[in-house]
Amino acid sequence: MQKRSVQAAALFLLSAGLMIGLAFVPFSWTGFLPEVCGTQNCYCEPFRAGYFVRQPLTALSNLGYVLAGALILASAARENLPGRGEDFRRWFAAAAFITGWASYLSHASLTRAGEWLDLMGVYQLLLLLLVYSLQRLTGRTFRTLYLAALALLALQMIYAPGWQQIVIAVLLAGWVLIEFRLRRARRLRGQMRYALLALVLFAAGAGIWAANGRAPACPPGAFPWHVAWHLLSAAAFALLFRYYQTETSQAPEFAA
């Protein structure tokens, strides 16, 4: 446990140091294809020219995901329960780290490449939840399905990026339906307070994301509420992991 905690703390401090340090690096994103939010201020944080990170506050709020990943990595694996061992913990921690860094680079660059990374970070996290739920429902592993779906979604973000909201809605709906079926079948018993709090935080964050992203104009000095989306959704993911840890019935190991 102490070794895991040291490793998790080191990864968090390394990521935090890099993220903060990059905010002071002179750089120009001129010449890169901008995303929509690179030409209009979607989330009320003024653009900063001449530095690697164009929206430092929003970008650095992704440390919430990095912290969630570190906490998951430092948590104790429940070796007595199949599906709750080292691979389970590492996959969830990696998903949080990847999402945090992908979103950081998106807000740093405000480019189409950054947007692609951002959405791929979200997709891989949601796919992890969906595949893990399928495994707990069927007793089978779905590594090939996970990788194939991720490859298809990578192409979707290149050729049809406007479908991203639909894709996210489908992935979320699929995950919720499978979890609901698992609960109805009474195959799993966990401490529901973690799951319910995660859903409340996620819904609050998503509402802020949608409202802030559609704001017609940002008054001077307006707070970039997209920061709240990052922090609330990161907390929700960490709570979902905690909920899965409290489940008492057996589930298959996540394939490495």
* 251 is a domain residue: no
Question: Most confidently modeled of 159-168, 186-195, 220-229?
Answer: 159-168
pLDDT digits over 5-43, tens only? 999 999 999 999 999 999 999 999 999 999 988 887 777
Q: Select from 9, 20, 133 the least CA-distant residue to 70.
A: 9
Range in 84-93, 169-178, 231-240 the model is least confident about: 84-93
**Domain CATH code at residue 231:** 1.20.1070
For residues 54 and 139, the model is more confident at 54
Question: CA dist 21 to 18, 49, 162, Å?
Answer: 5, 16, 33
pLDDT at 256 over 60: no
* 252 is a domain residue: no
pLDDT digits over 199-210, tens only? 999 999 988 877
* 254 is a domain residue: no
User: pTM to 2 decimals?
Assistant: 0.90
What is the SS3 assignment for 161?
helix
* 80 is a domain residue: yes
Percent of the chain with pLDDT over 70: 89
| Structural domains of the chain, count | 1
Residue range of the domain that includes 39: 2-246
pLDDT at 43: 79
Which residues touch 239 (CB under 8 Å, ≥6 apart)? 194, 195, 197, 198, 201
Tokens of 133: 């739920």
pLDDT at 80 over 50: no
* 198 is a domain residue: yes
User: Helices (DSSP H) in the chain: which residue ranges?
Assistant: 2-22, 56-60, 63-74, 86-109, 112-138, 143-159, 164-185, 192-213, 226-246
